[in-house]
Structure formats: C-alpha cells, structure tokens
Amino acid sequence: MDVKTTLIPGVVVIKPSRNVDARGYFIELHNQQAFRAAGIAVSFVQDNLSFSLKRGTVRGLHFQLPPSSQAKLVCVVRGSIFDVAVDLRARSPTYGQWVAEHLTADNCEQMFIPRGLAHGFCTLEPNTQVAYKVDEYYAPECDSGLLWSDLTLAIDWPITAEEAVLSDKDRKLGHFSDFVSPFRNDGD
C-alpha cells in the first residue's frame, strides 16, 4: 500500500495494492499490521455505510466530542466523493485548515482522519456508497458538527449551496467562529 501525507498532520491518503487478473481485482482494504507500520495505530470498533441517492449530497461536517471522539478510515464502495477533513485541534499548527481528496470506487483510495478533525463529503455522482471505519462507538450525546458551507472555513466545495442536498440536521450546524475546541493537538 502507498501512503501519501497531506498538509494536515495525521491525515493521510492510502492507496491499497491492487491484485489484478482475468476475473477482476482483489484489494486488501485494511490490514492492522500494515496500517501500524504506516503510523496508523488505531483499533477500529465499528463499520458504517452510507448511501446517497443524488449527486451533490453533502454529509457533514461531523465529529464526536471527547471523551468519544473518533478517528475514521473512509473509502468509496460505489461512485465518487469530494472528501474533506478540517483540523479542530486547538494546539495544531493547521487549526481551522482543511484538506480534501477525490475518492472513487475506481481508485480505491482511502482517507484516514485522526481524532480531533471534522469530516464531511459531497457526492460527485448519483447512487454513491461510502464505507468508513471508526475507532470509537457512536455516542449521540457527543455528536456534533459544523456547517458545511461556513464562510470562515472557505472550503472549495465542487457544488453551490443551491445544488446541495442536506439533512435538516446538517442545515442547522454551527459556525466555526462560534466553535470552542475541546481537542488538544493529539485529538482529545
């Protein structure tokens, strides 16, 4: 597997090895030993799958507050997404900055997002499925997020606000300027 760093410390893009033959291909999406060797030393406890019917569906920017913050490993099973991570770690040199990757089912790349970052994505085609592993169970009392279109964050989304398909919950998320970070530089 190839591991590419990003501008935000701890956020990496992983390209698994692809074994191709006449039948198609085989990919090992997660191997704890290989991930640990690459510096990703988390134990995943839950797998999630989302399906988005329409292009332009935005999910996020989501995160869980301590003590139940989560690291995520995101991959696309079908379709493609614009995947975003925003650094919320108060002592981080990249606090308030974002990175994005174009993840597709065809390229099989994954993005690892450590604890202390918000995560969101926008579907780039209809009928997109996104799978992600997390290292902490869902805790509704710690569920939080930021508005996807927050002007302070200035994320360069590939859609306009009019094109965005959002949940009622995501429409009502708060602004970064009002956010007081509970995250240290190590995520909690």
- Residue 170 dihedral angles phi and psi, to the nearest 5°: -70, -25
Whether the Cβ atoms of residue 77 and residue 130 lie closer than 8 Å to each other: yes
Nearest to 85 by CA among 58, 116, 57, 106: 116
137 catalytic residue (yes or no): no
Say which of 30, 132, 137, 138 is annotated catalytic: 132
Helices (H), 10-161: 32-37
25 catalytic residue (yes or no): no
Say which of 25, 62, 102, 137 is annotated catalytic: 62
- Count Cβ atoms below 10 Å from residue 34 Cβ, excluding itself: 15
- Count Cβ atoms below 10 Å from residue 135 Cβ, excluding itself: 18
> Which residues are tagged catalytic?
62, 132
